[in-house]
Structure 1
């Protein structure tokens, strides 16, 4: 395992911060102090600032006057709009995949869901991240980079929404529904695939609720992400 005291470059700092946000270890509203991040990863504040700027372009981080950078806090109005657009775009993803997905693409999806199943019930943060990455992989397999970029942004922003507003839940349904989506695509059953995806996204959206969870300490969270991720 890589020591937390070893220096990191800007890309790794960006990737580790992004992963901590997507796994809901750094919750919306968490203040991202440049000095604390720099100390944890052994990099300059300039490198930290570059990573935060990149995360801000992805709407994962917000910079506020007199407060600095913090994990973004989407409003309920934004949440509703994001899910509305996500339903539309992921419906388009399904239509394209049913029409043209390759055998290799189906194997990639099967492999991803197998990974989801392996961490199910063992690693909550990883399950959260992998569930989102399944939808990003679907979009990438369409071969349309613009569509994939939009879906990726929406999925990552949904992670923030769920961190703020969702009730606790099991990942069992997500894994099973992901398998069902793959099977419907494999069978070229567009009606079934669209129905399952619509129900799946509706269930995710339906978990939205005001949450009173407390935020973890920034440095205690980043201590975990300064190490190499588990295999």
Structure 2
């Protein structure tokens, strides 16, 4: 019985995580336990187990007497997450240059073909596959801890883009993925790490992390000038 409960909890966790990555569940959206349980045909206890895992990954937050909500990262948190991502993915690139598994390049290129197949056709799946490319690279290093950290931070970046990004801004440049693969294949560390840094910088730009949003004072001051005039 316990094994079945764990299996169901894993399934609910996977589905909710995917819905967040694909930006179907938007930041700030409430996640009532009973609604989630009814939709997936599971008990609230199983839903709670899934919520704990999602909260540990920073994907949802629970508020006392209000329940669970999709997380809304702050601008400062978003910037810090992208800083860490740069460090982690540079390490991934360096490790793959040193030792790529026998079928590693074929695996990455097959994934890029899947990305190309849905580009412009299925936005949510395109978002998910773009992130999974980076997770797949980390898995190919053979370092389970590194792969886990990259997976978590890539997912949180998807949430950040949903919070701060422009409309249609989350499509990840497929050609940049191909360029990174080519540089790793050529064992050109400088080019590969440079391409990855540029690529992640472009992702951060799409999230508009460098643009300060005007506060209410600045907004209202523009309208207040009409009174002064």
TM-score, shorter chain, exceeding 0.5: yes
Contact 2:169 2:207 in 1 (8 A): no
Distance apart, 1:103 and its partner CA: 3.2
Distance apart, 1:53 and its partner CA: 1.1
Distance apart, 1:209 and its partner CA: 3.4
Residue 119 (structure 1) aligns with: 118
Distance 1:13 1:172, change over 3 A: closer
Distance in 1 separating the partners of 2:183 and 2:172: 16
Is 1:105 the equivalent of 2:104? yes
Matches within 5 A, 1:1-231: 9-169=8-168, 174-209=173-208
Distance apart, 1:172 and its partner CA: 6.6
Contact 1:62 1:70 in 2 (8 A): yes
SS of 1:62's equivalent?
strand
Distance 1:169 1:190, change over 3 A: farther
Unmatched segments (≥5 aa) in structure 2: 1-6, 210-229
Distance in 2 separating the partners of 1:37 and 1:172: 28
Distance in 2 separating the partners of 1:172 and 1:75: 22
Contact 1:120 1:171 in 2 (8 A): no
Structure of larger gyration radius: 2
Contact 2:31 2:68 in 1 (8 A): yes
Deviations 1:146-198 (A, max 9, x none): 11111111101101100000113467761110011111111111111111111
More helix by share: 2
Question: TM-score normalised to the size of structure 2?
Answer: 0.85
| Greater relative contact order structure (CA < 8 Å, 6+ sep) | 1
Question: TM-score normalised to the size of structure 1?
Answer: 0.84
Question: For the aligned residues, what is the CA RMSD?
Answer: 1.9
Distance in 2 separating the partners of 1:32 and 1:169: 25
Distance 1:147 1:107, change over 3 A: same
Contact 2:130 2:172 in 1 (8 A): no
Distance apart, 1:133 and its partner CA: 0.5
Distance in 2 separating the partners of 1:164 and 1:93: 27
Residue 220 (structure 2) aligns with: none
Contact 2:169 2:206 in 1 (8 A): no
Distance 1:171 1:121, change over 3 A: farther
SS of 1:121's equivalent?
coil
Query: Which 4+ runs in 1 deviate beyond 3 A?
Result: 169-173
Unmatched segments (≥5 aa) in structure 1: 1-7, 211-231
